[in-house]
Amino acid sequence: MNKKTLKDVTTKGKRVLVRCDFNVPQDSEGAITDDIRIRAALPTIKYLINSGAMIILMSHLGRPKGEGYEKKYSLKPVAQRLSELLNLKVSFAEDGDVAGENAKKLSQELKEGQVLLLENVRFVKGETKNDKEFARKLAGLGDIFVNDAFGTAHRAHASTAGIADFLPAVAGFLIEKEIAVMGKALDNPDRPFVAILGGAKVSDKIGVINNLLEKVDKIVIGGGMAYTFVKASGGEIGKSLLEAEKMDYAKEMLEKAKAKGVKLLLPVDTVAASEFKADAEHRVVDIDKIPEDYMGLDIGPRTVELFKQEIKDAKTVVWNGPMGVFEMPAFAVGTKAIAEALSRVSGTTIIGGGDSAAAVEQLGYADKMTHISTGGGASLEFLEGLELPGIAVLEEV
């Protein structure tokens, strides 16, 4: 990486603003169900503690609308978990303005080696708009900016990009590690190279397929991503997740794959449910014959076998996005089967995304994978070969 890191700057006695990606999955009560992203930030935070910096952490959580404090999206549970993991008090700036009076006061009071977490930066509209004034306000809290939020490095937001206009900006250890490991695996990948896409952020991630078709030998599409393709091919998808404006694009991608000789695989069957609920009535149906009032919430058994066959002999696999609503046991079968199939691949396996990583970890396959990236969309954009805005703004060596 040709970017400066933490080690290239003096941090002792400095207020260091660190952008992390603490966008962790939570249950309906707000309890954190997977803390990989918090643990992944610890090397940077511990280094700063030991170097005598005053540490001010920033993150987003979920996608609030930018209209001030909302309990559901508060980072307070993250402050508690972080404090347990560090075995150290982590102050929390309860502040709907994020960088308002309370945050200012608490950041001024920090002593060397102490840690403060700000509230969810997306409580302020200016964050996702990369607003200059909000970036300036955040920057006003510190002396140095460290970006360690690999999972959010594909967003040009105030706390990931704009802030670098006002402070010296360097990379944290997580960003450094992600780029090193993925760069090495993906620079000249062993083939067959297979990408598996799923999840629910369809409009966000469907766009990567165009570039992926230039890089991979096969693309396997499951999860919420599949139904737009099925519908675009003339299938009946009932109430399944659909990105209607992307249907033409999906059609184009199916044609492009054919023209390029890249195998693009869609599910052949699905577990369709009467509602989006853990105990909903459900049954297996053909992927293109989902009844009108049903929705596909997992890949079906024939699809599992088909996908497993395609993965078996791969030499490089990148997986992003679960195959179904794995948080509900009735719809977790496909994701579990794919995770298991990946754990047997002898080549390089890279898992990207908050939920995909959580699924692999919960199933006990984490140590069977080459790399579990903290980035979902970010790792896909990295794989596409795009420059991530949160990294582009950092100072060069």
Ligand X SMILES: Nc1ncnc2c1ncn2[C@@H]1O[C@H](COP(=O)(O)OP(=O)(O)OP(=O)(O)O)[C@@H](O)[C@H]1O
Ligand Y SMILES: O=C(O)[C@H](O)COP(=O)(O)O
* Binding site residues, ligand Y, CB under 6 A: 21, 23, 63, 151-152, 155, 354, 376-377
The amino acid present at 195, given as its one-letter code, is A
- Write down the catalytic residue from 151, 172, 377, 390: 377
Nearest approach in angstroms of CB 266 to ligand Y is 23
Candidate residues 126, 142, 223, 390; the one interacting with ligand X per rule CB under 6 A? 223
Is residue 154 close enough to count as binding ligand X by CB under 6 A? no
Q: Is 96 a catalytic residue?
A: no
Smaller CB separation from ligand Y, 269 or 355 = 355
Q: Which does 297 bind (CB under 5 to 8 A by kind): ligand Y, ligand X, none?
A: ligand X
- Decide: 290 and 268 in contact? Cβ < 8 Å: no
x/- binding map, residues 319-348, to ligand X, per CB under 6 A? -xxx-xx-x---------------------
Task: Please tell me whether residue 67 adopts helix, strand or coil conformation.
Answer: strand
Q: Give 3-state DSSP helix, strand, coil % of the chain, rounded to 5.
A: 40, 20, 40
Q: Is 354 a catalytic residue?
A: yes
Q: Is 376 a catalytic residue?
A: no
Q: Which residues of 180-189 are buried (b: 16+ CB within 10 A; e: fewer)?
A: ebbeebbeeb
Q: Is 302 a catalytic residue?
A: no
User: What's the rounded Cα separation, in Å, for the pair 315 and 308?
Assistant: 14
222 labelled binding-site residue: no
Candidate residues 200, 284, 363, 386; the one interacting with ligand X per rule CB under 6 A? 200
Smaller CB separation from ligand Y, 311 or 357 = 357
User: What's the rounded Cα separation, in Å, for the pair 164 and 170?
Assistant: 9
Going across the sheet that includes 169-171, the strands are 90-93, 115-118, 54-58, 15-19, 144-147, 169-171
Cα separation of the two ends of the chain: 9
Nearest approach in angstroms of CB 298 to ligand Y is 21
Candidate residues 142, 172, 199, 238; the one interacting with ligand X per rule CB under 6 A? 199
74 labelled binding-site residue: no
User: What's the rounded Cα separation, in Å, for the pair 124 and 121?
Assistant: 6
Give 23's DSSP letter. -
User: Which positions make up the binding site for ATP?
Assistant: 205, 296, 327, 353-356
Residues near ligand X (CB under 6 A): 198-201, 223-224, 241, 296-297, 320-322, 324-325, 327, 353-356, 376-377
Where in the sequence numbering do the catalytic residues fall?
A: 37, 201, 354, 377
